Amino acid sequence: MATGVWLAGGRGSVAATSIAGAIAIRAGLADSTGCVTELPQLRSPALPALTELVFGGHDPATTPLGKKIEALAAAGVLPVRLVTALADDLAAVEPEIRPVPAAPTQGETAALIAEDIVAFRRRHGLDRVVVINVSATEPAAAPHPGHANPDALRRALDEPGTVLPPSSLYAYAAFTAGCPYVDFTPSTGARLPALDALARHHGVPYAGHDGKTGETLVKSVLAPMFAMRNLRVRTWSGTNLLGGGDGANLAEPGPNAAKATSKQRVLRETLGYEPQGTTRIEYVDDIGDFKTAWDLVTFSGFLGTAMRMEFTWHGCDSALAAPLVLDLARLTSGAHRAGRVGPLTELAFFFKDPLGPVPEPTGPDPGGTEKPPGAADRRDRQRATGPVPHGLAEQWALLASFVRGLADA
Ligand SMILES: NC(=O)c1ccc[n+]([C@@H]2O[C@H](COP(=O)([O-])OP(=O)(O)OC[C@H]3O[C@@H](n4cnc5c(N)ncnc54)[C@H](O)[C@@H]3O)[C@@H](O)[C@H]2O)c1
């Protein structure tokens, strides 16, 4: 089941670590620690093998993959011995990470992106290609009437100007090329009524949002504990320090707000109320691809006794994210093969801000081009808060049953 993995942001830290990791595993130079689809409970013939993944992508950066891996190894993200061992394989992937196309309209740009993906699929004789967004986090998208339905979107994209943020343009190109789409970032991606309808029209699934690799992962284990023991969380405050390209980008107010919003849901939806406290994200250049989260939780128990807990998480961002990117490529490919269409809510396990079920469109024009700008935005919010588990154990059970279902399909 040869599966292409087309990475938007193909020269970034997460993308490069994913590519190098898959090659190292294939060559027997590394094991699959961190890849959950390699656990006995999730291993399945319905998923492509790690060795069947073929990589390509788009990125405006020009740093060769080999150089990027060298820098990541020097920073301690992966073993230095892999730099020379993987050099030839990385050089073979190099021409498949293409510059981002540019054209006078976004419609033409999307067509060029789709052409690159289709050519990649043909060149490698792939059964399917999964497009995964691991590019820089964007600010929240400005509402546009074109977001309401596919016809309105097509018309708007044919005009000069910006209708879709890059993450959504990749989703649009993926769907029109008949490819599933995964958003590993908090960006808008496929979360627009027009794009949901387009995915259904082309019979493809999509998944997201924002890989869960650090503070939110720990929260998704601890918050259900407080809830199950009927302990009242009074405050939950966290400070996240990170460096690297992602950290530098998150120092900008727009992307910072998008990331902070994505991190908020787990407590509200697991506890059933919102404790006091904030989640802060700060850029610390010197810690590179490593991140630290400090969290303080105050809570009260029987007879109102006040208590507290604190935790510190030191993680290597790309080493935590890359195996999940490989898992998501395999799972989404398996879902596409099994005929799944629309949001893959069972993949909530992987995400900070998981997609909930999207109501099936009723009537001829669910988004309604006649609706005022902002209408699409309201439906986004409905979708973002749809019923989906946030506790890790519950998400795990859902994922395991999803994988079993793929094998039966
Ligand atoms: N590492 C983690 O644990 C983690 C967890 C959740 C989400 N994420 C998200 O994953 C994304 C990637 O993280 P990273 O550490 O690799 O960041 P990075 O800065 O190293 O890489 C981002 C890459 O995207 C490229 N890019 C920018 N605009 C683009 C466009 N329009 N099209 C294609 N490529 C474009 C950049 O040139 C860069 O190479 C970020 O959005 C981050 O928030 C990471």
Statement to judge: residues 26 and 173 lie in one domain: yes
Q: What is d(CA 48, CA 63) in angstroms, rounded to the nearest whole number?
A: 29
Tell me: the pLDDT tens digits for 41-98?
A: 999 999 999 999 999 999 999 999 999 999 999 999 999 999 999 999 999 999 999 9
Task: Tell me if 256 CB under 6 Å of ligand 1.
Answer: no
Statement to judge: residues 236 and 363 lie in one domain: no
Dig out the tokens for 25 from the structure: 């595993």
Gap from CA of 304 to ligand 1 centroid (Å): 44
In the structure, what pLDDT confidence band is assigned to residue 118 with cuts at 50, 70 and 90? Answer: very high
In the structure, what pLDDT confidence band is assigned to residue 367 with cuts at 50, 70 and 90? Answer: very low
| 31 has a pLDDT exceeding 50 | yes
Q: In the prediction, which pLDDT does 350 show? A: 98
Of the listed ranges 119-128, 156-165, 373-382, the one predicted with least confidence: 373-382
- The values of phi and psi at residue 237, to 5°, are -120, 135
Q: In the prediction, which pLDDT does 408 show? A: 85
Mean pLDDT of the 298-320 span = 97
In the structure, what pLDDT confidence band is assigned to residue 222 with cuts at 50, 70 and 90? Answer: very high
Task: Tell me if 245 CB under 6 Å of ligand 1.
Answer: yes
Q: In the prediction, which pLDDT does 245 show? A: 87
| 374 has a pLDDT exceeding 90 | no
Tell me: the pLDDT tens digits for 318-341?
A: 999 999 999 999 999 999 999 999
Of the listed ranges 225-234, 256-265, 300-309, 392-401, the one predicted with least confidence: 256-265
Helix (H) or strand (E) holding 71: helix 65-74
Residue percentage of the chain with pLDDT more than 90: 85
Dig out the tokens for 259 from the structure: 């990331």
- Of 316, 350, 371, the residue that ends a domain is 316
- The residues facing 237 across adjacent strands are 296
Number of domains in the chain: 2
Residue 390 sits in a domain of what CATH number? 3.40.50.720
Statement to judge: residues 370 and 229 lie in one domain: no
Statement to judge: residues 298 and 312 lie in one domain: yes
Statement to judge: residues 134 and 159 lie in one domain: yes
Q: In the prediction, which pLDDT does 360 show? A: 60
Q: Are 175 and 114 in contact (CB under 8 A)?
A: no
Statement to judge: residues 88 and 192 lie in one domain: yes
In the structure, what pLDDT confidence band is assigned to residue 265 with cuts at 50, 70 and 90? Answer: confident
Gap from CA of 409 to ligand 1 centroid (Å): 34
Mutate to test the pocket of ligand 1, among 11, 13, 14, 256 (most ligand atoms within 8 A of CB): 14
Q: What is d(CA 261, CA 278) in angstroms, rounded to the nearest whole number?
A: 10
Statement to judge: residues 183 and 290 lie in one domain: no
| 383 has a pLDDT exceeding 60 | no
Tell me: the pLDDT tens digits for 186-197?
A: 999 999 999 999
Which residue carries 């992508």 as its tokens? 57
| 377 has a pLDDT exceeding 70 | no
Mean pLDDT of the 218-228 span = 97
Mean pLDDT of the 354-374 span = 55
| 283 has a pLDDT exceeding 90 | yes
Q: What is the mean pLDDT of the chain?
A: 92
Statement to judge: residues 279 and 368 lie in one domain: no
Mean pLDDT of the 6-18 span = 98
| 370 has a pLDDT exceeding 70 | no
- Of 257, 287, 316, the residue that ends a domain is 316
Gap from CA of 235 to ligand 1 centroid (Å): 31
Q: Which of 45, 55, 1, 46 is nearest to 25 (CA)?
A: 55
- Of 288, 316, 344, the residue that ends a domain is 316
Task: Tell me if 135 CB under 6 Å of ligand 1.
Answer: yes
| Strands 279-283 vs 232-242: parallel, antiparallel or unpaired | parallel
CA distances from 52 to 284, 329, 359 (A): 37, 11, 34
Task: Please give the torsion angle defined by the CA atoms of residues 148, 153, 157 and 162, in that order, rounded to the nearest 10 degrees.
Answer: 10
CA distances from 359 to 39, 157, 203 (A): 33, 25, 16
Nearest CA to ligand 1 atom 10: 134
Domain residues for the domain of 263 are: 215-316
Task: Tell me if 134 CB under 6 Å of ligand 1.
Answer: yes
Q: In the prediction, which pLDDT does 208 show? A: 97
Q: In the prediction, which pLDDT does 385 show? A: 46
Task: Tell me if 166 CB under 6 Å of ligand 1.
Answer: yes
Tell me: the pLDDT tens digits for 141-153?
A: 999 999 999 999 9
Statement to judge: residues 172 and 223 lie in one domain: no
Q: In the prediction, which pLDDT does 372 show? A: 36
Gap from CA of 100 to ligand 1 centroid (Å): 14
In the structure, what pLDDT confidence band is assigned to residue 354 with cuts at 50, 70 and 90? Answer: very high
* pTM (2 d.p.): 0.93
Q: Give the ligand 1 atom nearest the CA of 248.
A: 19
Statement to judge: residues 45 and 109 lie in one domain: yes
Residue 297 sits in a domain of what CATH number? 3.30.360.10
Statement to judge: residues 247 and 349 lie in one domain: no
In the structure, what pLDDT confidence band is assigned to residue 203 with cuts at 50, 70 and 90? Answer: very high
Statement to judge: residues 189 and 323 lie in one domain: yes
Residue percentage of the chain with pLDDT more than 70: 93
- Classify residue 160 as exposed, middle or buried by CB count within 10 Å of its CB (0-12, 13-18, 19+): exposed
According to the 3-state scheme, what is the secondary structure of 74-87?
Answer: HCCCCCCHHHHHCH
| 371 has a pLDDT exceeding 60 | no
Of the listed ranges 130-139, 203-212, 246-255, 290-299, the one predicted with least confidence: 246-255
Q: Give the ligand 1 atom nearest the CA of 213.
A: 3
